[in-house]
Structures are given as structure tokens and as C-alpha cells.
Amino acid sequence: MIREYIQTHQDRFLSELFELLRIPSVSADSRHKNDVRKAAEYVANSLREAGADHVQLMETKGHPIVFGEKIMDASKPTVLVYGHYDVQPPDPLDLWHTPPFEPTVRDGKIYARGACDDKGQFYMHIKAFEILMKHKLLSCNVKFMIEGEEEVGSDNLGTFVVANKEKLKADVILISDTSLISLNQPSITAGLRGLSYMEVEVTGPNRDLHSGVYGGAVANPANVLAKMIASLHDENGRVTIPGFYDKVAELSGADREALNKAPFDLTEYKKELGIEEVQGEKGYTTLERTGVRPTLDVNGIWGGYTGEGAKTVLPSKASAKISMRLVPHQRPDEITQLFTKHFLSIAPKSVKVKVTAHHGGEPAVTPTDSKAFKAASAAFKEVWGKEPIPTRDGGSIPIVALFKKELGLDTVLMGFGLDTDALHSPNEHYGIKNFLIGIETIVAFHKHFANP
């Protein structure tokens, strides 16, 4: 019955999603402020049309949060669906095969910025809700909270959650903003990494210099920065910041074994990325390196002449954006401090170094024995005919730890994307199959959650 309804309405579901994907709701770019609001209004309307009550845009210091709810019976449990309607900037634009805000279907996949992260994923919840309403299948309560600042660190969400505890009262948070293993092997994410994001600036001489006149005698900030960054890893791929690993939770042998049981094809992984070899912390598998080990990476680096042709110059400044992915029980504020102290300490006297912190986020581990997790497992079992495997994802959704801290709520991370969906990259996409089976699985979740 549900599957038939989805099939019958699939074209409409997709064209509605496409309309949302056409709105360039890039939260990081102030030129898109109005587009971000337009996307929020679109989401609010979709919720109203699906049958939600009290739908409203709730203002924050930044972009608005869309709220809506359906209270069937206040004595019954409530599911709070969280998602984000903002997207990453689409650049570099010239690497897209079709424009990022003109959704295009190729090979059964929707290509557009936000197709998977997260418009295509949270929209499944609105359509699942429509189905539950149409078929009078909803017996528990549902609340929606779709924000517009996830991709810039959810700066105003903490304040919002604290100020609206009563409104957000629920029994579990449900999020589709992660990946699963494949369409042949469902999985539920049981942990996310945290994040500490830094920016460093190295300053040498008081102006750019002729590299022939001064080169070799005056410290070159770009050379110095490169050397400092290189020293942040040792020959075993471990981060050299003193204290960095002090609080890292080591997995038990049994947990490691379980984690590595997930199907993973290293040859296919390398081939898909066009690399000859993987790298990382010695003694750990690729799944461990991305799931349960902390890391440090340069996200951007600049300084000196980067225009066309050659210019012989010794730059006055060089900078880099450096992020660290964190695992339980590392704390972003502590790691930020350790990084700052260490980075300043390794600077040679010939330069000045400035370190600033951008946003951070706590890592999160979600329980696999809760009623809601069991409902999610049962939903996959019913729709996919296969038991889902719990996995750990390498990305971050800082609000998960915040929901736990402020509302005491656990989250179920029921994502339907794939790691290869090019999130944050050119040609982001989302499988139509993933979208449709996701809707069906979410409907099944509500059924199992209400009647365990």
C-alpha cells in the first residue's frame, strides 16, 4: 500500500524536491541571505501541505529555523525530526557537469548541491509524514525542526534549543543526514566525529619582497608554514600535538572486530577516488581511520602569488585552515587549546604566528539498544529484507551532542546517502532509489516506533 502510493506519487515528490533544490540556500554566503529564507519558506509550505500544524519560521540571530508538528495524542511518544535546508557553497563551479542549482537526473541520480546533504534527505521525512497522514497511520506525535545554519556550524541553534525546551519536548531525535553502506547493505550510524576548526596566519617581513634580492636571508612565511604543518604528523601518521590522544577512547577488541565486519572493498575505494594507495595512522584500518580515530587535515592554504604565470616574490604572509576530527572523549575546546599552544610553540623566531578558532563540535555516540534504534532496525528489516549494521561515520553533526546535553535526548541517525555522493564536492548527487526507499523506511520507522 505504501510502496504503491510512493510509486504513484513519485514524479510529484521529485518535482517538489527539485523546486527546493533550485533555491541556492548557501548559508555561508551573505549574498544568498534571501535565498536561504526562500528555502525556509518553501520547507514551511511543504510541511503545511503535508498536514503539519503550527508551522512557523522561528527567527534566530542568523537564518530562521522551520518548526512544525502534529500532536496526535499528547500522552503518546514524540519523534523530533531534525534536518538542515542550507547547503555548502557550490564552488568550484567549472567542475560541475550541470549547474548546481538546476537539478538534473543522470543514471538514476539527482545531481544538485544539497541533493543528498541535506535537502533530499530531510525531504523524505516530509513525504513520509504526508503518507502517514493520508493513510491515517500516525499514532505517535511528530515534530519537525529544520535549520538553516548547519553547514556554518549551527551557531544559533544551541541558544534556540535552550530557549525552546518545552516546544521541542520529544522522546527521540530522528535525523537523515548521514550515509549508509550501500543499497545492498543497510546500516544505521551509531557515532559521529567531533570537530575543531582552526585558522593560522604566519607573518614574516613587513611587505612582499623580491625573492632574488631577499630570498635565502629572510624567512619565507610560506616555507615556514609548510614546515610547521608537515611537523604536525609523525612518520606513523599520528598527530604530534602533545596531549592530542590523551582522552581518546580506545575501542575494545570486540568493538574493533564488529566495526571491521562491515563490507568494505579497499580496491574499489581506491579506484573510485583515483588514488594508488591509502594512508593514515599506522595500525588502523581505513574504516577505523575514518570512524573512530581522530585526524588533522589542512582544508585550505594560501599566500604569495597564485595568479597566472610566474611572479618572483617572497610573501609577507601565509595562511591555512586546519581542522581536526575528534572522537569520544576528546573535547573541542581542549583540543583547540592544545593546538594553539603547540602551534605557537613550534614557530621559529623569524616569523609571527596568529592562531584563531572557528566552529567546533562534540563527537557523539548513539545507543544501539534504545526503543527507537530497534524501531529503525525493524524498519530496515521490513523494507530492505536485511538487518542493518551499526556503523561509525567520520563526519560531524554537532547538534547531536547538544540535543543530548540540553534536552537529554538520544538521536537515531537513519541516513540514506552514500559516501560517494560527493557531499560538499562538485556534482553532488543522491540516488532516486535511495530517496524513494528512504521514504518507505521512514514510514516503517514510525509504525514500529508506535507499535514495538
Residue 132 vs 364, nearer CB to ligand BES: 364
Residue 83 vs 221, nearer CB to ligand BES: 83
Residue 130 vs 362, nearer CB to ligand BES: 362
Choices 57-65, 93-101, 103-111, 171-179 (CB under 5 A): range interacting with Mn ion: 171-179
User: Counting contacts by CB under 6 A, is residue 120 touching ligand BES?
Assistant: no
4 is annotated as an active-site residue: no
Give the one residue of 177, 362, 393, 410 binding Mn ion; rule: CB under 5 A: 177
421: exposed, middle or buried (Cβ count in 10 Å: 0-12, 13-18, 19+): buried
Beta bridge partners of 239: 233
Give the one residue of 69, 117, 147, 440 binding Mn ion; rule: CB under 5 A: 117
Q: From the candidates 16, 69, 86, 118, which is the catalytic residue?
A: 86
User: Counting contacts by CB under 6 A, is residue 397 touching ligand BES?
Assistant: yes
User: Counting contacts by CB under 6 A, is residue 149 touching ligand BES?
Assistant: no
Binding map of ligand BES across residues 259-288, x = CB under 6 A, - = no contact: ------------------------------
User: CB of 122: closest distance to ligand BES in angstroms?
Assistant: 10
User: CB of 379: closest distance to ligand BES in angstroms?
Assistant: 19
Report the C-alpha gap between 309 and 332 in whole angstroms. Answer: 41
Residue 2: which of 134, 122, 121, 124 has the closest Cα? 134
Question: Could you tell which of Mn ion, ligand BES, none binds residue 178, using a CB distance below 5 to 8 A set by kind?
Answer: ligand BES
Residue 62 vs 395, nearer CB to ligand BES: 395
Residue 247 vs 359, nearer CB to ligand BES: 359
User: Counting contacts by CB under 6 A, is residue 423 touching ligand BES?
Assistant: yes
User: Counting contacts by CB under 5 A, is residue 130 touching Mn ion?
Assistant: no
Q: From the candidates 69, 150, 421, 440, which is the catalytic residue?
A: 150
User: Counting contacts by CB under 6 A, is residue 398 touching ligand BES?
Assistant: yes
Report the C-alpha gap between 16 and 188 in whole angstroms. Answer: 27
User: Counting contacts by CB under 6 A, is residue 319 touching ligand BES?
Assistant: no
User: Counting contacts by CB under 6 A, is residue 178 touching ligand BES?
Assistant: yes
Report the C-alpha gap between 37 and 45 in whole angstroms. Answer: 12
86 is annotated as an active-site residue: yes
Question: Could you tell which of Mn ion, ligand BES, none binds residue 179, using a CB distance below 5 to 8 A set by kind?
Answer: ligand BES
User: Counting contacts by CB under 5 A, is residue 147 touching Mn ion?
Assistant: no
Choices 12-20, 149-157, 241-249, 294-302 (CB under 6 A): range interacting with ligand BES: 149-157
Give the one residue of 69, 86, 118, 147 binding Mn ion; rule: CB under 5 A: 118
Please, which residues have CB within 8 angstroms of residue 249's CB and are 6 or more apart in sequence?
327, 328, 329
Catalytic residues: 86, 150
Contacts with Mn ion, residue ranges (CB under 5 A) = 117-118, 177
Contacts with ligand BES, residue ranges (CB under 6 A) = 117-118, 150-151, 153, 177-179, 192, 195, 359, 361, 393, 395-398, 423
